[in-house]
Amino acid sequence: MRITAAVVEELHGPFVVREVEIDEPGPGDVLVEVAGTGFCHTDGIARDGDLPFPLPGVLGHEGAGTVVAVGDGVTGVQEGQAVVLGWPSCGACRNCVAGQPRYCLRMGELVGGGHRLDGGSALRTTDGAPLSSHFFGQSSFATHAMTTASSVVPVPAGLPVELLGPLACGLATGAGAVLNTVRPEPGSSIVVYGAGTVGLAAVMAARNSAATTIIAVDRHASRLRLASELGATHTIDATDTDPVQAVTDICGGPADAALECTGVLPVVRQAVDSVGMLGTAVLIGGAPAGAEFTVDHLTTLWGKTIRGTLGGSGHGQALITALMDLHLQGRFPFDRLVEFFPLERIEDAVEASYSGAVVKPVIRMGG
Ligand SMILES: [Zn+2]
Ligand SMILES: [Zn+2]
């Protein structure tokens, strides 16, 4: 079938919108007509080679849309069903079997292999030349995406499907770090470094938790204002303030938990230094490949936990479903982060993301 996709031809190359061919769904496959796909920095990282993905190919991993065809053996999802395209997992490795699909041992292959887990690519050029597909199991910068039945999440009635794709990555990552990883104790404090999509999702999730002190740190006054409106009890502009000292002043000592959503190495250190005895620093933001960081040895011995998290940990399906319900209830208003762009203007969306003009650009396939 002929579809329209934003193709990246080469490393650092632009997104070129053109027609490509997509397969019919094979066994276990689900073909989705995409309504909208968020742009996430991980798409940019893949285009620039810091996350390996064979090019030419189609990126995009925050898609949502409507099922238009299913392959053999697919049960539980039908044509006409609105779905969020969740992260893939193999379902068979040790971590998947243990209930930790975000840490599937075949994750690298699943997100960046450029093809089905045990098969070929679903995409090719109109001349029949190979194109990589299945980026994060979807490649959804396109009017249609091939994914697997096991990774789609049904959308409840009453939600605009074109808005929901970012729930699968950026929003789940920030919210899951709070709800699955930190699990704030009643009356605890949490500091969030970086008020982009991930950090603001963390703030909104913390607002739905038992944490009573929620601090957002950023360098953009507009993002800090937004953080306050979404649930931060305090904000720190790190442009001219030492955030570690400011956190100590607000909390009357170190914070109980810190979330590092920037991937900027000096900020990683600030996040670790913001928590004290028995505190937890969660590393979320992506730094360049090969990056290293140092910590203070003595204060780390004080029962401190430094841990990483991918995609919000836990079960993506359960988390995404919960976030959709919270959104319906007005308790997770992530639509305030979103601005829509038509597929033809995908490069403008990328620029708006990098400049910070838009927190979460979403490419709307219907224009
Ligand atoms: Zn697995
Ligand atoms: Zn992402």
Rounded CA gap, 211 and 196, in Å?
20
- pLDDT, tens digit (0-9, with 9 covering 90-100), for 263-275: 999 999 999 999 9
Q: How confident is the model at residue 118 (pLDDT cuts 50, 70, 90)?
A: confident
Longest dimension (CA), the chain: 65
Among the listed residues 248, 223, 226, 224, the one whose alpha carbon sits nearest the alpha carbon of residue 236: 224
> How high is the pLDDT of residue 367?
58
Tell me which ligand sits closest to the C-alpha of residue 39: 2
Q: How far is the CA of 112 from the centre of ligand 2 (A)?
A: 12
- DSSP string for residues in 255-267: EEEEEE-S--HHH
- Residue 247: CB atoms within 10 A of its CB come to 26
Please, what is the average pLDDT of the chain?
Answer: 96
Q: How far is the CA of 43 from the centre of ligand 2 (A)?
A: 7
Tell me which ligand sits closest to the C-alpha of residue 286: 2
Rounded CA gap, 272 and 256, in Å?
11
- Is pTM beyond 0.85? Reply is yes
Classified as helix, coil or strand, 191 is strand
> How high is the pLDDT of residue 112?
96
Q: How far is the CA of 35 from the centre of ligand 2 (A)?
A: 17
Q: How far is the CA of 100 from the centre of ligand 1 (A)?
A: 8
Q: Give Cβ neighbours of residue 298 (< 8 Å, ≥ 6 apart).
A: none
Tell me which ligand sits closest to the C-alpha of residue 151: 1
CA distances from 277 to 62, 246, 253, 260, 305 (A): 37, 18, 10, 18, 9
- pLDDT, tens digit (0-9, with 9 covering 90-100), for 18-76: 999 999 999 999 999 999 999 999 999 999 988 899 999 999 999 999 999 999 999 98
Q: How far is the CA of 187 from the centre of ligand 2 (A)?
A: 31
Rounded CA gap, 345 and 361, in Å?
11
Tell me which ligand sits closest to the C-alpha of residue 99: 1
- Mean pLDDT, range 157-166, rounded to an integer: 96
Tell me which ligand sits closest to the C-alpha of residue 98: 1
- Mean pLDDT, range 278-283, rounded to an integer: 98
Tell me which ligand sits closest to the C-alpha of residue 101: 1
Q: How far is the CA of 253 from the centre of ligand 1 (A)?
A: 41
The pLDDT of residue 290 is above 90: no
| Mean pLDDT comparison of 72-76, 211-215, 312-316, highest-scoring range | 211-215
Tell me which ligand sits closest to the C-alpha of residue 310: 2
Tell me which ligand sits closest to the C-alpha of residue 168: 2
Beginning with the edge strand found earlier in the chain, give each strand of the sheet holding 305-308 in spatial order. Answer: 234-237, 213-218, 189-193, 255-260, 275-283, 305-308
Q: What percent of the chain has pLDDT over 70?
A: 100
Q: How far is the CA of 102 from the centre of ligand 1 (A)?
A: 8
Q: How far is the CA of 313 from the centre of ligand 2 (A)?
A: 14
Q: How far is the CA of 171 from the centre of ligand 1 (A)?
A: 22
> How high is the pLDDT of residue 125?
97
Q: What percent of the chain has pLDDT over 90?
A: 94
The sign of the dihedral angle between the CA atoms of 154, 341, 333, 58 is positive
Q: How far is the CA of 329 from the centre of ligand 2 (A)?
A: 25
- pLDDT, tens digit (0-9, with 9 covering 90-100), for 76-92: 899 999 999 999 999 99
- pLDDT, tens digit (0-9, with 9 covering 90-100), for 173-182: 999 999 999 9
CA distances from 32 to 147, 156, 189, 346 (A): 8, 17, 41, 20
| Residue 56 preceded by cis peptide, ω within 30 | yes
The pLDDT of residue 119 is above 80: yes
Classified as helix, coil or strand, 350 is helix
- pLDDT, tens digit (0-9, with 9 covering 90-100), for 129-161: 999 999 999 999 999 999 999 999 999 999 999
- pLDDT, tens digit (0-9, with 9 covering 90-100), for 332-361: 999 999 999 999 999 999 999 999 999 999
- Mean pLDDT, range 188-198, rounded to an integer: 98
Q: How confident is the model at residue 287 (pLDDT cuts 50, 70, 90)?
A: confident
Rounded CA gap, 171 and 316, in Å?
11
> How high is the pLDDT of residue 92?
96
Pairing of strands 144-148, 29-38: antiparallel
Q: How confident is the model at residue 324 (pLDDT cuts 50, 70, 90)?
A: very high
